[in-house]
Amino acid sequence: MQDKIVLLVEDNPDDEALTLRALRKHNLANEIVVARDGQEALDFLLGEGAYQERDIQVLPQVILLDLKLPKVDGLEVLERLRREPHTRHVPVVVLTSSTEEQDMVRSYDLGANSYVRKPVDFEQFIEAARQLGLYWLVLNEVPYGRD
């Protein structure tokens, strides 16, 4: 089985640190790649820009995607991923502080696999990240990246 990679797309340094801490504390991913804006996430996944030498056949087990991002927002990232044949089936969990109903509806319309609102409380945030990691990295199976 290939190493489990998580792509965390998050521009808030505090939320990034909390998510990384939760995933690493429970040894849920072999590698965590952080993209701090939507364009960097697309570049990583599509092998463009700074990532043009990256093997794009090596896909994350799950993408944790914030919606409110600089350069390219999360909904645009999601839309682009679902149009691309090789990223179409990568699980995407929208992990956001947005309470806008239209963001949730649009996320699912564009093919999000899950929509999770970030808890405000520190301990709840850590627990939410742990549970996301357990489900998407341990229990969920993907149609690619398996030996």
Query: Phi-psi category of 7—alpha, beta or left, where left has phi over 0 and alpha has psi -120 to 50?
Result: beta
Q: Please name the helix (run of DSSP H) or strand (run of DSSP E) that holds residue 90, with its range, or none.
A: none
> Helices in the chain by DSSP H: which ranges?
13-25, 38-46, 74-83, 101-109, 122-133
Distances (CA, A) of 125 to 28, 111, 112: 16, 24, 20
List the chain pLDDT tens, one digit each, 147 residues: 456 788 999 999 988 988 888 878 777 667 889 999 999 999 999 999 999 999 998 999 899 999 999 999 999 999 999 999 999 999 999 988 888 899 999 999 999 998 988 876 777 877 777 787 777 777 777 776 533
Domains of the chain: 5-127 (3.40.50.2300)
